[in-house]
Copies of this chain bind each other. A is one copy, B any other.
């Protein structure tokens, strides 16, 4: 049996910690693990499967002998280092946005478009967290009924902005309850000028603004969803629009998804049945027992939870859904490791 040397690029962040966990629990036969980070973190020690692993500086040469790279150290790091890793024969699964929209880079959610994995040239991109859980929910609907339009409003957790944003959010929460001034230095987005408190507030800005007034997060949801669903689900005219809002929740994104199907005769029972058999989906939809997806319940789980399924009675073939998933697991670390598992199972860990 082939075994694999796996490198984790950016192992110390909110996603990185979970990449380690998910890799420990995975079916991948790991012969050795390499932890790569910036010079500042090199020399520190982390534990993988109860063994100490010393963090090395992420240089091009550090990828010598590596089979699989799981990358989550920021877009600029991926851009600089992943081509070097590929040159050395490694297959890279990138959790940043660096390569997602490159035409020859597969953008993969294993439950949705696993066939794209066969076409990789060394780099496979992991979609944005808010995109992943939405396309998992859309897949069974696309397959059975076709998709015409998707209108999504997100309720995104603080951890999506990283561990430091999550820490800041908790500090703000305690300050508010103590009637002290809330400090804001990171959220809504590190890369922008002004910072606002998220605790007990709503911030309708995730990532920076584009010229058309959409944020880059909204842009990602629109264009990544199209890349995934249009190519693979044959919904070549799928329309998508998005409003992304950061909410005072630590982990797990919520999404209010309005979907117009091509099949205008689909009933709410049809949609319920389709979602109920969807891969990676757990239905939580029982109004009479107040059962519906909640972030606190989704935290730590790999699934995408779907509920509040309702027909828009005035628009045949249109439905409202409520979708929740752990943004650090299915939205990031688990989707990345799941891609690696599929590559291993399909004997696809080699650069063509």
Contacts and interface: CB of A to CB of B under 8 A. Distances in A.
Contacts of A164: none
A193 B322 CA distance: 21
Contact of A153 (B153, B293, B296): B153
A214 B310 contact: yes
B294 A200 contact: no
Nearest to A193: B290
A266 interface: no
A97 interface: no
Interface in A31-62: none
A163 interface: no
A174 interface: yes
Interface range on chain A (Cβ under 8 Å from partner): 35 or more
Given A202-B254, A209-B287, A294-B202, A248 B245 contact: no
Interface stretch (A6-14, A110-118, A311-319): A311-319
A65 interface: no
Contacts of A314: 149, 239-241
Given A202-B295, A294-B202, A320 B177 contact: no
11 contacts: A149-B314, A192-B290, A202-B249, A204-B294, A209-B288, A213-B309, A213-B310, A214-B310, A241-B312, A243-B258, A243-B308
